[in-house]
Amino acid sequence: MKRHLSAVLLAAACAFALPAQARDERGMYSIVEALNTPEARERLDQGVKLYFGAQRAPRQSRDFGEWKTNKKTNAVGKSDKEACQWAFLSAVLEMQERARKEGGNAVVGILSNYKNTETSSESEFMCGAGNIMAGVALKGKVVKLK
């Protein structure tokens, strides 16, 4: 009887554990849409320009080096798109803050660097979304435009 009860309890524990597996899906989302959310329009610094992928930027007078950011956000109760846009905004704001701190006025060549996998695009960013968290990692070069 004791063995039977143990087997039933083990089977029940396994059945409940299966749905708890973590989700980690990578998706591509629109940069333009993310930059045009009300939160982004309100918080972005128009004095620090952003150039994604191979977008052409004006000539540079100074290069302050390459910088990385990795931002996560709570995804509970949010769609993947909403959570990813929020994480993207946090990452872009940190890039702008770095540019200001270094004396730059632009970040060029911005690309996604999620889990150290580089993805260059002028129109989309990569985001990893799970059951409770979403994350965006970016890297780009801080410069002073002429």
Q: How far is CA 92 from the centre of its chain?
A: 9
The string of pLDDT tens digits covering residues 33-84 is 999 999 999 999 999 999 999 999 999 999 999 999 999 999 999 999 999 9
| pLDDT tens column, 73-85 | 999 999 999 999 9
CA distance 135 to 24: 10
Compute the distance between CA of residue 11 and CA of residue 137 in angstroms, rounded to an integer.
40
Write out 47-66 in H/E/C secondary structure. Answer: CCEEEECCCCCCCEEEEEEE
pLDDT category at 1 given cuts 50, 70, 90 is: low
Cα separation, 127 vs 50, in Å, equals 18
Query: Mind listing the pLDDT tens digit for each residue in 80-126?
Result: 999 999 999 999 999 999 999 999 999 999 999 999 999 999 999 99
Q: Catalogue all structural domains in the chain, each as residue range(s) with its CATH number.
A: 23-145 (3.30.110.70)
Task: Answer for the pair 96, 107: CB distance below 8 angstroms, yes or no.
Answer: yes
pTM of the model: 0.84
User: Quick count: other Cβ atoms within 10 Å of Cβ 101?
Assistant: 11
